[in-house]
């Protein structure tokens, strides 16, 4: 895949950061200076969300031992003290302490130091996007401070203060306010064409007619893959459809809304909630019982975690396709031919579904059931390393250099050390990042989805 790589000098000409900033629509700024806008946004978010007590708790308890440094792949690559997760967290905690606690306000009045400045905002804008939000450091923090959550909050405040990555904002704008209503701007007719094409392809490949049902009211599952899969991951989708058909599951794709991607998880709670609401609305329109998320880490996590949070009474259970497939294999509803995949395969855990321990064992057991040569990377599972493109970075092409040289370096070494020929990973973002990494480091490794392999082995 051709990757559009930009030189750092060109990047810095357009934005002071290593990503492009999409300024908010003109005429909506509530305050003049960035400092005021930042503090206003911070104040509003503290007032109307659940972050306040967390800031209090972290500001009081953070011991700043620096132990998290060793767990962060960004820090491992740069050895720059500014990339220590705790340092990043304390950037925001300092602002909180200075402006939103009594002690800080008094100290500010008396000594007048450590106030927020343009430089500090720049530092935060840089720091919170140099974090891939993989939350690996959370496991290593003896106190249990969630640096990923603080980075999330930092990005949220920055976005309300007018600093958000252009790539994410434009996709979300199309998804929530555009004509097509999805991040990849696929019009509905194009989707239907695509489904027809996939159906033909699958018939050609497996000799069986597998349907892609659209708008079937009353189905058990409504299926939301990362919408980009329709364009770029035909094999994954065919694998999904083949499994669902073979396992005898009634499922449907919604014609009004068919995108699982939720970039709100990366930078803005307001966006996050609106996208979840679209998901819910479509599920209820089709009167389904459950929501099925395709091979996509952040889509699975955001739906799993925030459908119950935002939908209230209208909440539906959220299931990952990996759980469903493994259950079908266990139940003997589908059969996978163990002779077909003979290459050495390893599995990369997408942080969003593995860090909480939700989906760690299911895909492994699934792969082990039909892959002859399965190896593990070290470490893996809950303590895996991020691909380097987490937190939405992979959607920002201008961060290519950072993702290759810094955030993805550890992963590339891990893959090289594993000696695998195929890396299977159930995440659209991870796949894109890993492919770019393999190109960059010139490793002869094929990056596929888990269901790509399932598709090869499944017996229909």
Partner 1 sequence: MPTWMLIAKGAALRFTLGICALGLLRLLLLTALDMFAALRRAGDRRLPLGQIARQTLSWVAPLARLHRSRPAYSFASFVFHLGILFAGFFLVNHLDILKDLLGISWPSLPKPALDALTLAAIIGGAYLLLYRLYAASSRRLSKLSDYLLLVVILNILLSGYIAGRPWNSIPYDSLMLFHTLNGIALLLVMPFTKIAHCVLYPLIRLGSEIAWHFPPRGGEQVIHALYGPEGRKI
Partner 2 sequence: MAAQYRNWIKDGLWALAIAGMAAAVLRFTFGLGASTGLNDTTPWGLWIAFKLCFVALSGGGFTLAAMVYVFHLESFRPILRRAILLALLGYGSFIVSLLFDLGLPWHIYMPIIHWQHHSVMFEIAWCVMLYFTVLTLEFAPVILEHDWFRHPIFQMIYRALHVAVIPLVITGIVLSTLHQSSLGALILIMPHRVHPLWYSPWIPVLFFISAIAAGLMALVLEGFLVERWLGSQVKLDLLERLGKVAAFALALYLALRLGDLWARGTLPAALDGSWQSLLFGAEVLIGGLLPLTLLTSRKIRQTREGLLTSALLIVAGVVSQRMSLSLFTMWRPAPYLPSLAEILIALGVPAAAALIYLFFVENLAVLDEKAPLKIAPARVQLPMTWPFPFAERNSLNGIIAHRSGLAVGIIAVMLAVLPIQTAASGALPLNLVQPARGWRILWIDGNRAKYQVEFAHAEHQERLAKEMGSSEEACQTCHHLNLPQDEATACWQCHRDYLQAVNIFDHTRHQQILGGNAACQECHTVEHTRRSAAACQECHETMSPKEGQAAFNPMAPAYLDAMHGLCQDCHAQQAAAQNRPELALCKTCHSLQENPSELQAAIRNE
Q: Does 47 bind partner 2 (CB under 8 A)?
A: yes
Shortest CA distance to 275 belongs to which of 312, 239, 306, 240? 306
Q: Compare residues 67 and 206 and give the one whose CB is closer to partner 1.
A: 67
Answer with the entry of partner 1, partner 2, none that 168 interacts with (C-beta below 5 to 8 A by kind): none
Where do we find the tokens 């500010």?
108
Q: Does 114 bind partner 2 (CB under 8 A)?
A: no
Cβ of residue 164: shortest distance to partner 1, in angstroms?
9
CA 75 to chain centre: 20
Q: Does 220 bind partner 2 (CB under 8 A)?
A: no
CA dihedral 34→40→46→48, nearest 10 degrees, is: -130
Instruction: Classify each residue of 258-285 as buried b or exposed e, where b means 16 or more C-beta atoms within 10 Å of its C-beta.
Output: bbbbbbbbbbbbebbebbbbbbbebbee
Cβ of residue 96: shortest distance to partner 2, in angstroms?
11
Burial of residue 149 (CB within 10 Å: 0-12, 13-18, 19+) is middle
Q: Compare residues 71 and 407 and give the one whose CB is closer to partner 1.
A: 71
Pull the structure tokens for residue 115.
């106030």
Q: Does 102 bind partner 2 (CB under 8 A)?
A: yes
Distance CA(210)–CA(395), nearest Å, equals 32
Q: Does 218 bind partner 1 (CB under 8 A)?
A: no
The residue range among 73-81, 227-235, 347-355, 444-452 that interacts with partner 1, by the rule CB under 8 A, is 73-81
Distance CA(12)–CA(31), nearest Å, equals 26
Q: Does 185 bind partner 1 (CB under 8 A)?
A: no
Q: Does 194 bind partner 1 (CB under 8 A)?
A: no
Q: Compare residues 135 and 431 and give the one whose CB is closer to partner 1.
A: 135
The residue range among 39-47, 253-261, 316-324, 408-416 that interacts with partner 2, by the rule CB under 8 A, is 39-47
The residue range among 99-107, 396-404, 405-413, 414-422 that interacts with partner 2, by the rule CB under 8 A, is 99-107
Cβ of residue 155: shortest distance to partner 2, in angstroms?
20
In the three-class reduction of DSSP (H, G, I as helix; E, B as strand; rest coil), residue 92 is classed as helix
Total residues binding partner 1 (CB under 8 A)? 69
C-beta neighbour count of 59 within 10 angstroms: 19
Answer with the entry of partner 1, partner 2, none that 100 interacts with (C-beta below 5 to 8 A by kind): partner 2
Distance CA(127)–CA(135), nearest Å, equals 15
Distance CA(270)–CA(217), nearest Å, equals 29
Q: Does 157 bind partner 2 (CB under 8 A)?
A: no
Distance CA(398)–CA(183), nearest Å, equals 18
Shortest CA distance to 17 belongs to which of 119, 85, 149, 114? 119
Q: Does 100 bind partner 2 (CB under 8 A)?
A: yes
Answer with the entry of partner 1, partner 2, none that 65 interacts with (C-beta below 5 to 8 A by kind): partner 1
Distance CA(377)–CA(382), nearest Å, equals 12
By CB under 8 A, name the binding residues for partner 1.
24-25, 28, 30, 40-41, 44-45, 47-54, 56-58, 60-67, 69-71, 75, 79, 81-82, 84, 86-87, 90, 103, 138, 140, 142-146, 149, 160, 169, 172-173, 176-177, 268-274, 305-306, 308-312, 315, 357
By CB under 8 A, name the binding residues for partner 2.
30, 36, 39-40, 43-44, 46-47, 99-102, 105
């Amino acid at each position: 895949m051709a990757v559009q790589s930009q030189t750092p000098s060109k990047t810095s000409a357009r934005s002071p950061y290593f990503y492009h900033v999409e300024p908010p629509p003109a005429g909506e700024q509530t305050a003049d200076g960035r400092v005021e806008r930042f503090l206003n946004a911070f104040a509003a978010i503290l007032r109307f969300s659940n972050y306040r007590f967390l800031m209090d708790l972290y500001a009081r308890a953070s011991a700043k031992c620096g132990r998290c440094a060793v767990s962060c792949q960004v820090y491992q690559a740069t050895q720059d003290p500014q990339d220590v997760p705790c340092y990043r967290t304390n950037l925001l905690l300092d602002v909180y302490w200075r402006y939103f606690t009594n002690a800080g306000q008094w100290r500010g009045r008396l000594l007048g130091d450590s106030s927020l400045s343009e430089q500090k905002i720049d530092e935060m804008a840089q720091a919170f996007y140099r974090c891939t939000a993989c939350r690996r450091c959370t496991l290593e923090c003896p106190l249990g401070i969630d640096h990923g959550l603080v980075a999330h909050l930092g990005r949220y405040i920055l976005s309300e203060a007018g600093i958000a990555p252009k790539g994410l904002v434009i996709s979300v704008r199309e998804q929530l306010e555009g004509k097509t209503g999805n991040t990849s701007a696929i019009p509905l007719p194009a989707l239907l064409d695509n489904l027809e094409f996939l159906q033909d392809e699958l018939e050609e490949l497996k000799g069986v007619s597998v349907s892609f049902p659209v708008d079937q009211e009353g189905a058990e599952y409504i299926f939301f893959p990362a919408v980009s899969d329709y364009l770029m991951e035909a094999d994954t989708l065919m694998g999904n459809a083949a499994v669902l058909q073979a396992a005898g599951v009634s499922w449907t794709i919604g014609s009004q809304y068919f995108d699982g991607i939720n970039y709100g998880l990366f930078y803005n709670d307001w966006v996050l909630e609106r996208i979840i609401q679209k998901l819910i609305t479509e599920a209820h329109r089709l009167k389904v019982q459950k929501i099925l998320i395709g091979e996509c880490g952040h889509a699975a996590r955001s739906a799993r975690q925030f459908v119950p949070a935002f939908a209230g009474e209208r909440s539906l259970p959220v299931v990952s396709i990996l759980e469903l497939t493994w259950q079908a294999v266990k139940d003997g509803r589908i059969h996978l031919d163990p002779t077909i995949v003979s290459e050495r395969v390893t599995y990369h855990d997408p942080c969003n579904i593995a860090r909480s321990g939700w989906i760690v064992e299911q895909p492994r057991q699934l792969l082990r059931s039909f892959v002859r040569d399965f190896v593990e990377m070290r470490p893996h599972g809950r303590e895996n390393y991020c691909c380097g493109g987490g937190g939405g970075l992979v959607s920002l092409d201008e961060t290519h250099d950072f993702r290759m040289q810094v955030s993805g370096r550890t992963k590339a070494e891990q893959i090289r050390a594993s000696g695998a020929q195929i890396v299977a990973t159930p995440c659209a973002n991870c796949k894109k990042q890993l492919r770019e990494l393999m190109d960059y480091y010139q490793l002869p490794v094929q990056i596929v989805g888990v269901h790509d392999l399932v598709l090869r082995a499944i017996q229909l």
